Structure 1
Amino acid sequence: MHTNAGVHARFVEFAKRIHKAMITVLQYIGEECVRQARENGNYIDHTGNLRNSIGYVLLHDGNIISNNFEERVQSKVIDKANGMGVLEGRTLAEKLAKDFTKGYALIIVAGMNYAYYVETLNKDVLDGAERYAMRVVPKMIKSLQTQVYKMTS
């Protein structure tokens, strides 16, 4: 015999497992997109700021639950903008995050204001990472759905 409390507890546990799996999948995608963008960008980054501005935030219901912004490239040029990449990337991602208050959102950015310009020169700043995500995300979500279906059977 099942009690209402027992059924409710089982649903709550099931929802927590799905939430944790979703976060794991989205974190993996975010980390991989950031890695690919930082490593495969085919542009000369004189200050290191552009590569250092690449990162992500993962949100659930408007709350940032994971992020990756870190200085990875040491600059060979010393100027007033040196070291601004991480700050610019994080600031842009947090600004964009304000638009996502429901559900899950993964935001990947190149935070320097000239990132788009570099892309228009046929240089890969985020395009390769975006292509990767467009290829992999549907497969990972489908796999997650299959796993969820198996859990309920």
Structure 2
Amino acid sequence: MAQTTQTHGKYKGVLVSKTNTKKIYAKLQMQRKKLIQYLVEKLSYIGEACVKIARDNGDYNDITGNLRSSISYVVLNDGEVMSGGNFVAKQVAPGYKKVKRTRKLKDGTVKEYMANVKVGGDGVKGQQEGEALLERLKAKFPWGVVLIVCAGMEYAAFVENVHHKRVLIDAELEAEKLFKQLLGKIVKEA
């Protein structure tokens, strides 16, 4: 690719590089596209695994199906969706469910009791909230290859942090593990 020649005349003995920079640029672009495709493929795998874990292992009370329906992922490349974004509405059959509750009494003690809670829903609101949250998050990442995993209902963080229920924490831990396993070598070399 790169050729060197000696010139004659006034600049005798000077080395001149005759490198075709267009060819180098084209090869680098091809390698960049392959790398992006590889990253998208691996991040999609991680996103699918996270969503499966979050939907299947969430130990919160599924009263309306909205929280479970609002969980999904998306892989972006320069702000463009490459994969993901598939929200699935989780239906909960109408009826009643026994749920463990706690109440703080006047004397300061905490009492646990079982309550009958009316359940039932089609999960469509959760699906819509999840899609809206992903749209807002996509705007924050206009460049690079990005994986976003989210629970779109506004109370998801409250359920996880206050009630200590597992909404996305298991998925986050699995994502870190899979990232190190699948992409750790590439990141170390970069």
Q: How many Å separate the matches in 2 of 1:137 and 1:143?
A: 10
1:73-92 equivalences under 5 Å are 73-77=90-94, 82-92=123-133
Of the candidates 123, 129, 149, which is equivalent to residue 171 of structure 2? 129
1:60, 1:103 within 8 Å by CA — same for their partners in 2?
Answer: yes
2:155 counterpart letter in structure 1: Y
**Would you say 1:68 and 2:110 are equivalent positions?**
no
Structure 2 residue runs of 5 or longer lacking an equivalent are 3-19, 95-119
- 2:159 aligned partner: 118
What is the TM-score when the length of structure 2 is the normalising length? 0.68
User: 1:140 offset after TM fit, Å?
Assistant: 1.8
| Structure having the higher Rg | 2
Of the candidates 59, 64, 69, which is equivalent to residue 47 of structure 1? 64
Q: How many Å separate the matches in 1 of 2:159 and 2:49?
A: 21
**Would you say 1:106 and 2:123 are equivalent positions?**
no
Which segments of structure 1 move beyond 6 Å, counting only runs of 4 or more? Answer: none
What is the TM-score when the length of structure 1 is the normalising length? 0.83
Q: How many Å separate the matches in 1 of 2:38 and 2:143?
A: 18
- 1:58 aligned partner: 75
**Would you say 1:22 and 2:39 are equivalent positions?**
yes
Number of equivalent positions: 147
- 2:183 aligned partner: 141
The percentage of aligned residue pairs carrying the same residue is 36
1:69, 1:86 within 8 Å by CA — same for their partners in 2?
Answer: no
Distance 1:85 1:19, change over 3 A: same
Q: Give the aligned CA root-mean-square deviation in angstroms.
A: 2.3
Q: Residue deviations 1:25-79, cap 9 Å, x none?
A: 1111111111110011011211111111000121111222222332252222456
Q: How many Å separate the matches in 1 of 2:32 and 2:88?
A: 36
User: 1:83 offset after TM fit, Å?
Assistant: 1.6
2:78, 2:142 within 8 Å by CA — same for their partners in 1?
Answer: yes
More helix by share: 1
- 2:135 aligned partner: 94
Greater Cα shift, 82-91 or 135-144: 135-144
Secondary structure of the structure 1 residue equivalent to 2:93: coil
Q: How many Å separate the matches in 2 of 1:82 and 1:41?
A: 15
Q: How many Å separate the matches in 2 of 1:82 and 1:26?
A: 26
More strand by share: 2
Of the candidates 13, 25, 36, which is equivalent to residue 8 of structure 1? 25
Q: Residue deviations 1:115-135, cap 9 Å, x none?
A: 112112111000100111122
Q: How many Å separate the matches in 2 of 1:82 and 1:100?
A: 28
1:28-39 equivalences under 5 Å are 28-39=45-56
